[in-house]
Structure 1
Amino acid sequence: MNKFMEFLENILLPIADKLNNNRYLSALRDGFMVALPLIIFGSIFVVIANFPFLDRLIGEEAFATYQDALGPASAATLSIMGMFVIVGIGYSLTKHYELEAIYGGVVALAAFLILTPQVLEGVSGVIPTASLGAQGMFLGIFTAFISAELYRFFVQKNWTIKMPAGVPDAVAKSFSALIPITLTLTAFLLVRIIFSYTPFDTVQNFIYTVIQQPLTALGSGLPATIIAVLLIQVFWFFGLHGQIIINSVFDPIWYTLNDENLQAFQAGLELPNVVTKQFIDTFLVGMGGSGMTLAVIILIFMIGRSRQLKELGKLGAPAGVFNVNEPIIFGLPIIMNPLVIIPWLLAPVVITIITYVAMSTGLVPKPAGIIVPWTTPPLLSGFLATGNAWQGAVLQAFNLLVVTLIWWPFLKILDKNYYENEKKGEGN
């Protein structure tokens, strides 16, 4: 066991360290954090607009009017979430270079809009909403990275307009950014013109066809999801924030799948994807935090005899209900603890398979694309994430039971070990 752990440590820790310190992945993570409050706002109103049986209570015509009134909340946030992510990425990456971050954000957005198709059903000058959401996400990410780097290059080359002393600071900064922004956006305009002479017509069609569709198809499958979940657990075991590391890579895929489900849900169509952002956040992380440690807390109250675990249970329970599990991760502890490595790695994989099978066979509705805040307690989050379906809550309860059974023998051994050591301490 020690040799195996040493092997994993030698292989994974250098990789994780590089991923954590990678400026592009950090900017990508920050971009999604900028968009998150807006996404949650839109998701809340999707839930409110789709209360079960409301159409029967107030009538279909009144229900349609009710939905139309609430529709702009999601249309102005969820449907164009890509724009917020792009601004966040450009801002974060430019800030990393200690330049005027706001210009990095706006130049990223402008570059993306230049590359975005501006024709809808034969009408020019109209940008399709889908291009500003999940469909345009990958183009937006690449555009934000490249535009921020170009802007940095031109600024650091001092290709700027220097204003004389006495000019207000805001005016001086604006003129200083003029040439770098102009050169950056001109480069993207040339790219758009070049692609208009290709079979793809636009850069967005090229990215979507060649990169986004294959990656999304791969990320929506069970094998890739199991690998992602397993890596999250492994990184956490070595004291690294697995969610941050793995989500930096998979979030663009999971959010795209999420948005596809949301659009289908709002249109009353069959949901296309099982694996989405909410598949991970609600049915895995949303069960007490990474590793679904709410089951560990329940077990502590059921079988714990040692004072250490009893106190840990009291400390971790209030936070665990809201999916905050640092007290358990650091107090049990889980980090570098060989006694818990098997359930820590095994339970999430088993639950991933159970949840995937339950949803793909139709026993439980697929996630409806509604972003449920990660602090939402289990059962309620499962109900909301599946479009107000009781089966989502039942699946969470079943998953919690499975995780509890997996952890039972290992926590019993750990508790016995702590209890005997406490007895020895009292004897001395």
Structure 2
Amino acid sequence: MSESKQGIMDRFQGFMEEKILPFATKLGNQRHMAAIRDGMSILIPLTIIGGLAMILAIPPVPAGLENTNFFNGLLLGWQSWAATYNATLMIPYYLTIGIISIYVVAGVSYRLAKSYEMDGINNMIAALLVFLCIAGFPDGATIQAGQLGAGAMFTGLLIAIIVVEINRFFIKKNICIKMPAAVPPNVAAPFNVLLPLGFNVILFLFLNMLSTDLTGGGLTMLIYKLFQPLISASGSLPSILLINFLMTTFWFFGIHGANMVSVVVSPITTMGLALNADAYANNLPLPQIFSGAVNGVFGNWITYTAMLIVMLLMCKSAQMKSVSRVALIPTLFNINEPMIFGIPTVLNVFTYMPLLICSMLNFSVAYLLMDANIIGRFFVTLPFTVPGPLQAFLATMDWKTIIVWFALLVVDCFIVFPFLKTYDKQLLAKEAQEEA
């Protein structure tokens, strides 16, 4: 690498280490943001179960399909079976993605309480009660489950955080019903949380009534409208490309990029997934592009596969060949750590540049095709180890996503090749020098 290019990289590295990385690390470790990140992680198995149940209940059978061959007959048989048992098959969806905000409240409040070394269960139950009072709109003995879906997620996040903070304030100020010393701790514990629980319920009921009087809608609707511009902005192509730039750059410096950006991204993509799943279940157009694992499937998962192909077929150094053999199976299942630490990609401009270029290109193409409704949008979450092209199909139930995935893989191979070949020549020269 020339001295001028080396100087540019040194200045870039210095800027990132001095300005960006400390802020990103502080953001990732911030107590409330970490609680959101860790609390949202409990939703992954729930959304997988709910999404798979919905696929079974609503098979992707085109209208007017005729039983002219074995495959069509299989699809029509699946459709008939799903129609017969639809009510039962949809139960897991309704109780997972359909009321996803309940799980958001539970996970975030529990994680935040534990970070303060407070009782996780009591705080979780308190937050759930407050949330149901506001978002569930109890009507006698009936709770409207439709009010507990994706649209209430941001309300759930705020209630989970505020309820725990109010409980913590009461504990710090020792504001509680004091029981005699002879009362066993397990009997006294419920009374210790009674005052903050009552305060939280009254406070949020009052805010909900005030919001209804002033805006004509409850607190849930008000918060959703306030966050709507954020949802739209964060789901735009420039915003996602910025996220990909940061994520790839964090990996360049040896920091887990996905973990760093998940603090901000997870609530957005999870909400997008739930909104899309609800639209799919009701046979409506899917509204969100930035949803589920779309950024991974149509991002660097493709690029790492392209790098593996180039290393296997074109590279000659012992290091690249040995890494490619070890990484072959893991990479096919989206486990990229063998390549990340084997090549390595940390502080390696020959991998940073193609990863950055390809991540921008891959997602831009996928985004524009989804925006034009040429390929489907993600409405199902799958285990991250499901291979990329299969996951693209199952998450969208659109076979065209497989073609796009492999087309991008071919393009990525051409982009990756000159960078890896140059790096391979350096490794060959180094290995020859060491043998001499």
Map of 1:132 onto structure 2? 148
Match of 2:220 among 167, 181, 204: 204
Worse overlay, 374-383 or 252-261: 252-261
Q: Secondary structure, in 3 states, of the residue corresponding to 1:196? A: helix
Q: Secondary structure, in 3 states, of the residue corresponding to 2:376? A: coil
**1:145 positional shift:** 1.0
**Alignment coverage as a number of residue pairs:** 417
Match of 1:398 among 407, 410, 427: 407
| 1:237 is aligned to 2:252 | yes
Map of 2:76 onto structure 1? 57
Query: Which letter maps to 1:376?
Result: V
Map of 2:278 onto structure 1? 263
CA contact 1:117–1:127 (8 Å) conserved in 2: yes
Alignment TM-score, normalising by the size of structure 2:
0.90
Q: Secondary structure, in 3 states, of the residue corresponding to 2:289? A: coil
Match of 1:250 among 254, 265, 268: 265
Taking structure 1 as reference, are residues 163 and 318 closer, same or farther at Cα in structure 2, changes over 3 Å only?
A: farther
Taking structure 1 as reference, are residues 415 and 207 closer, same or farther at Cα in structure 2, changes over 3 Å only?
A: same
The whole-number CA distance in structure 1 between the counterparts of 2:154 and 2:141 is 22
The whole-number CA distance in structure 1 between the counterparts of 2:41 and 2:184 is 32
**1:238 positional shift:** 1.5
The whole-number CA distance in structure 1 between the counterparts of 2:39 and 2:199 is 24
Map of 2:175 onto structure 1? 159
Worse overlay, 173-182 or 199-208: 173-182
The whole-number CA distance in structure 2 between the counterparts of 1:356 and 1:201 is 34
Alignment of 1:208-219 (within 5 A): 208-211=224-227, 213-219=228-234
Worse overlay, 317-326 or 56-65: 56-65
Match of 1:195 among 195, 207, 211: 211
The whole-number CA distance in structure 2 between the counterparts of 1:171 and 1:310 is 65
Alignment of 1:376-391 (within 5 A): 376-387=386-397, 389-391=398-400
Q: Deviations over 1:158-192 (max 9, x none)?
A: 12344455655433322322222222222222222
Worse overlay, 337-346 or 136-145: 337-346
Map of 1:11 onto structure 2? 19
The whole-number CA distance in structure 2 between the counterparts of 1:227 and 1:128 is 38
Map of 1:349 onto structure 2? 360
The whole-number CA distance in structure 2 between the counterparts of 1:47 and 1:192 is 36
CA contact 2:299–2:358 (8 Å) conserved in 1: no
CA contact 1:282–1:385 (8 Å) conserved in 2: no
CA contact 1:12–1:235 (8 Å) conserved in 2: no
The whole-number CA distance in structure 2 between the counterparts of 1:304 and 1:172 is 69
Taking structure 1 as reference, are residues 362 and 116 closer, same or farther at Cα in structure 2, changes over 3 Å only?
A: closer
List runs of 5+ in structure 2 lacking aligned partners.
1-8, 62-72
Q: Deviations over 1:271-307 (max 9, x none)?
A: 223222232233225x26xxx4122122111112111
The whole-number CA distance in structure 2 between the counterparts of 1:385 and 1:60 is 19
Map of 1:146 onto structure 2? 162
Q: Deviations over 1:70-121 (max 9, x none)?
A: 01011101111111111111011111111111122111211212222516xx
CA contact 1:257–1:275 (8 Å) conserved in 2: yes
Worse overlay, 43-52 or 337-346: 43-52
Alignment TM-score, normalising by the size of structure 1:
0.91
Q: Secondary structure, in 3 states, of the residue corresponding to 2:299? A: helix
| 1:178 is aligned to 2:194 | yes
How well do the aligned residues superpose, as a CA RMSD in angstroms? 2.1
Q: Deviations over 1:364-389 (max 9, x none)?
A: 2222x1112211112211110112x2
CA contact 1:161–1:176 (8 Å) conserved in 2: yes
The whole-number CA distance in structure 1 between the counterparts of 2:363 and 2:291 is 12
Worse overlay, 132-141 or 258-267: 258-267
The whole-number CA distance in structure 2 between the counterparts of 1:86 and 1:405 is 46
Query: Which letter maps to 2:280?
Result: F
Map of 2:383 onto structure 1? 373
List runs of 5+ in structure 1 lacking aligned partners.
none
Q: Secondary structure, in 3 states, of the residue corresponding to 2:117? A: coil
Match of 1:89 among 108, 116, 126: 108
Query: Which letter maps to 1:87?
Result: A
